[in-house]
Structure 1
Amino acid sequence: MAVIPATSAKPATDPVVFMAGGPGADTFDDIPFLVDSGLNRDRELIIMAQRGNLYTQPHLACPETDRFTAKAVGLPYAAPSTERLLLDAVKTCRDRLTAAGIDLSAYNTTENAADFADLRTAMGLPSWNVYGYSYGSDLALTYLRKHPQGIRAVAIDSVAPPRTTRLPVTWRSAHEGIDSLLKACAAEPRCKSRYPGLRRTLTEQVRRLEAQPLTLNARPPRGGDPVKVVLDGGALLNLLVANAVPATDVPAALEELAHGRPERFARARAADSLQTVGEWAHGLTESVACSEWVPGTSAADLLNAGRRAFPGWPDTVLAQAPQLPFQHEVCRVWNVPDRTAAQRVTTVSAIPTLIVSGTFDTKTGASLARDAARTLSRSTSVQIPGIGHWVVPQSPCAQHVLASFLASPTVPPDTVCVGGLAPKPFTIIPK
């Protein structure tokens, strides 16, 4: 745990506690982004690693999965041979963790929420404010439902509501974020003129690459030796969902790809070859996903969701959840109990809540914020144009709205800056 002092000479007495995304991310890596966003300007900022994460004991790292991810850049995205390698890595990690006496079923959102409730009590804090993004919003809403005592206000960013978060919803979010980006290009005269029919171009490239994958050598964006990269339809879709190419460059990258210049996407794919081994808590990721997100969904549910999101795309692409390939098979290996009855519950609350989303978010689509807001009677929703996943660190306007909200949660926050926002101009390449 860490406490970041407030920079104000007269800070408020109610701190902000942060709930990180993932699940499985190193919470302490987020501190610079939080400080740069002003989270500790007027009050202390409390950081606690979720159970299983780096700097906790035990740490549910899976270096086997990290090494697979580094190797996978040179493999077809959804091939059976790639699946076998992933499942071997997952099984090796699971066997190692359970042999060490770790109960993988104890790593879930209910237990995470209880840990934060215990933290507030242990610190002797009568009240605090909660800020969580992505999976941290799922955790924050669970915490709000189960432990509302002492919560002054809640801010959730890039929202994953517990009731809605299940594997097929990944396709809904991917469609929303990509569709919003394509519409933004069509609304910008220079982008529309230079890249007409961008939606058709994307579909054509996914289909072409899935039928005839490209194999090439590419240098990772941050340096290093060139590595073998395979670009197929599944890899292209996942690069877009991962925001591996900046949103402003996506139309240019698709245009280049259509004209035989795949370098932008290839370099972005090569980035995963430089995996940091042993930091991400894949064990926490799988324990949450396999007990809370996957049960009650089938391969057919997932494929049908993909077909609704992207009609005409190959089934081999649509059969895998964006960023969670082979997840049903992974969960059969991970083998933790179904917790959906306890977790897929709507949070109903009158505690003041700020909900922030980005129109280009391909991981937690902006419409999920509406799902959460319906039962939060004192909530304010803010949508930031042209921003992807984890909005506040990327948007000075969102930072201002959050500061206004935390200063006086019981009155509407100052959202005037939102009205003048537009996506950043897209990159225009010469013809």
Structure 2
Amino acid sequence: MRLGIYLSTFLLFISSFSLKQKKASDFTPTFTISENPTHKIPKGQIYTFGYLEVLENRKSPSSKTIKVPVYIFKSRNPNPKKDPIIYTVGGPGSSTMPSAQYMNSYQYLDDRDFILIEQRGTYYAEPHLDCPEWSLAIYESNQPNFDSRNKDELFENAARACKEKLENRGIDLNAFTTNEIAADIHDLVQVLGIEEYNLLTISYSTKIAQVLMRDYPEKIRSVVMDSPLPLEVNYDEESVGNLLQTAEKLLADCESEENCNYAFPLIKRRFFDYLIEKTKNPLEVSVQNPKNGERETFYLKGKDLISIFSSASTEEVARIPFEINKLLDGDLSSVKEQLISLFQEPGDGAGRGMRLSVWCAEENPFNSSEVIENETYKYPEVTGLSPVVFKDEICKIWSVKTVSEIENEPVESDIPVLLISGEYDHETPVKWAESMTTHLSKSYHLIFKGWKHTPTTNWSNPCAMEAASEFFNNPNRLPNPLCLNELENLEFYTDY
């Protein structure tokens, strides 16, 4: 089991650590090897698994320690490049560890070692900030007999219950921020003795990359940000507008394509008019509850029916006009499938507490209540669709400290950066990546036509991963892998 240049003398500390009290000034982060990985690793893949132990709150002299799991995967190349890639996924609240199962599919290992690090507070970290109370509230609010007038109270009670549970476990909710996650990665780099490294980040974790570039730039060789979320963007203020603008673009593209326009004439106007009409006169849909066999009736407005676009993956983009046209023709089969899924048992709330801490400390405080109110009722197609991830009252209940103003300002850097966008990504739209290029002097931007969120995770077509791999090998130019030339223009499905 080869660790390359990464493990320093800190590997002498291989015993298990409890969450014990330590003085911040006396504490040194450690990496401890474990023989119990979180997932089954592909046969033949050489790796090391262990836990990085760091302070929960670096600002507190009496802080406990926490653990975050780390995989170090050896490159398939017998003579790998010396600068590994460090990878963490999005969220906030998502786990990076499941990626370990699919190392055979990651092209990055052809050239260099690949390191996965879990974000603190997520599923395999210790502690894990889970909130099953929140998942139960989502489940209850989605049932057909739920009184929407009780929705705010339902989620406020869920937030209180989760907060009380986590704090009773001795967890400092103020310690789960993007800054602390970035500091964890910096500590890992120091502990493993890495001299130079590359960053691969997606969606929310691109904020982690920006903090690392600003606060710990010395050892960063290059960065890939897939579906970037700029620090300076107030996500909630734009989310509904971004959704409608992206849907409008896709349907306009359908109308500009001869076959699609012939099959679904005036699809954009007809769909948006339909959303407005159903906002005034909700669509009544009856489905069979798979739990008890009884018929259940839902009343859907425009804000519900827009999910035909928003829930589609990159693989399903070509079918979106077809699915919309089915709805307009009265075929509710796809809508019914979505509704039946609402009867599935609630989840375990994995990482939800971490998500609450991040959002309530970093996003919510910078929102304009006036803009949020306007965004909620601005668009007649989806009137009442709230743009916020967590409402003000929820964040008041969670009551974490607001981060400093610098966390809402753009990062200036000359580190080579590749920005990757999906053309129809409404969550982190193309315009956000374009705006970042003005602050990142050595940045390049690739837009994958016809794709949606996080192109590097599009397993049906690994072209974006190939572009990222090429960039890591030569970060001083825009990558141009052969697969880019092979990508065909999106051809919308028409069933003709």
- The normalised TM-score by structure 2 is 0.78
Query: Partner of 2:476 in structure 1?
Result: 410
Q: 2:273 aligns with which of 204, 208, 211?
A: 204
> What amino acid is aligned across from residue 379 of structure 1 in structure 2?
S
Does structure 1 residue 20 correspond to structure 2 residue 20?
no
Q: 1:338 aligns with which of 375, 399, 402?
A: 402
Does structure 1 residue 62 correspond to structure 2 residue 107?
no
- Once residues 89 and 370 of structure 2 are traced to their aligned partners in structure 1, the CA distance between those partners, rounded to angstroms, is 31
Q: Identity, % of aligned pairs?
A: 24
**What pairs up with 1:87-106 in 2 under 5 angstroms?**
87-106=156-175
CA contact (8 A) 1:19 1:140 kept: no
CA contact (8 A) 1:153 1:352 kept: yes
Name whichever of 410-419 and 9-18 sits farther off: 410-419
Question: In structure 2, do the counterparts of structure 1 residues 354 and 269 end up closer, same or farther at CA, with 3 Å as the change threshold?
Answer: farther
Query: Partner of 2:463 in structure 1?
Result: 397
Query: Partner of 1:366 in structure 2?
Result: 430
Structure number, greater radius of gyration: 2
- Once residues 269 and 151 of structure 1 are traced to their aligned partners in structure 2, the CA distance between those partners, rounded to angstroms, is 46
Q: 1:284 aligns with which of 350, 354, 357?
A: 354
Number of equivalenced pairs = 422
CA contact (8 A) 1:229 1:269 kept: no
Query: Partner of 1:147 in structure 2?
Result: 216
Superposed CA offset, 1:77-125 (max 9, x none): 9933233322222221112112222221111111111111001111111
Task: Please state how far the C-alpha of 1:209 moved relative to its aligned partner.
Answer: 3.2
Query: Partner of 2:55 in structure 1?
Result: none
**What pairs up with 1:166-315 in 2 under 5 angstroms?**
166-210=235-279, 211-217=281-287, 228=296, 230=298, 231-238=300-307, 240-243=309-312, 246-274=316-344, 277-278=347-348, 280-305=350-375, 311-315=379-383
Does structure 1 residue 381 correspond to structure 2 residue 445?
yes
- Once residues 232 and 40 of structure 1 are traced to their aligned partners in structure 2, the CA distance between those partners, rounded to angstroms, is 47
> What amino acid is aligned across from residue 368 of structure 1 in structure 2?
W
Superposed CA offset, 1:171-191 (max 9, x none): 343234323321221222111
Name whichever of 26-35 and 291-300 sits farther off: 26-35
Task: Please state how far the C-alpha of 1:416 moved relative to its aligned partner.
Answer: 6.2
Superposed CA offset, 1:333-355 (max 9, x none): 22222225141121111111100
Q: 1:109 aligns with which of 174, 178, 202?
A: 178
**What pairs up with 1:151-166 in 2 under 5 angstroms?**
151-166=220-235
Give 5+ residue unaligned stretches, structure 1. Answer: none
CA contact (8 A) 2:414 2:441 kept: yes
Question: In structure 2, do the counterparts of structure 1 residues 4 and 97 end up closer, same or farther at CA, with 3 Å as the change threshold?
Answer: same
- Once residues 288 and 404 of structure 2 are traced to their aligned partners in structure 1, the CA distance between those partners, rounded to angstroms, is 42
> What amino acid is aligned across from residue 491 of structure 2 in structure 1?
P
Superposed CA offset, 1:214-273 (max 9, x none): 3422689xx998995733322223453233692222212211112222221332344354
Task: Please state how far the C-alpha of 1:65 moved relative to its aligned partner.
Answer: 1.4
CA contact (8 A) 1:405 1:413 kept: yes
Give 5+ residue unaligned stretches, structure 2. Answer: 1-69
**What pairs up with 1:79-94 in 2 under 5 angstroms?**
79-94=148-163
CA contact (8 A) 1:239 1:269 kept: no
Query: Partner of 1:48 in structure 2?
Result: 117
Query: Partner of 2:491 in structure 1?
Result: 425
Cα root mean square deviation, aligned? 2.8
> What amino acid is aligned across from residue 401 of structure 1 in structure 2?
A
- Once residues 345 and 82 of structure 2 are traced to their aligned partners in structure 1, the CA distance between those partners, rounded to angstroms, is 40
Task: Please state how far the C-alpha of 1:76 moved relative to its aligned partner.
Answer: 8.6
> What amino acid is aligned across from residue 312 of structure 2 in structure 1?
N
Superposed CA offset, 1:11-60 (max 9, x none): 21111111210000121123456752413221111111101001111100
- Once residues 295 and 72 of structure 2 are traced to their aligned partners in structure 1, the CA distance between those partners, rounded to angstroms, is 41
Question: In structure 2, do the counterparts of structure 1 residues 114 and 407 end up closer, same or farther at CA, with 3 Å as the change threshold?
Answer: same
- Once residues 52 and 229 of structure 1 are traced to their aligned partners in structure 2, the CA distance between those partners, rounded to angstroms, is 38
Moved over 6 A (4+): 223-227
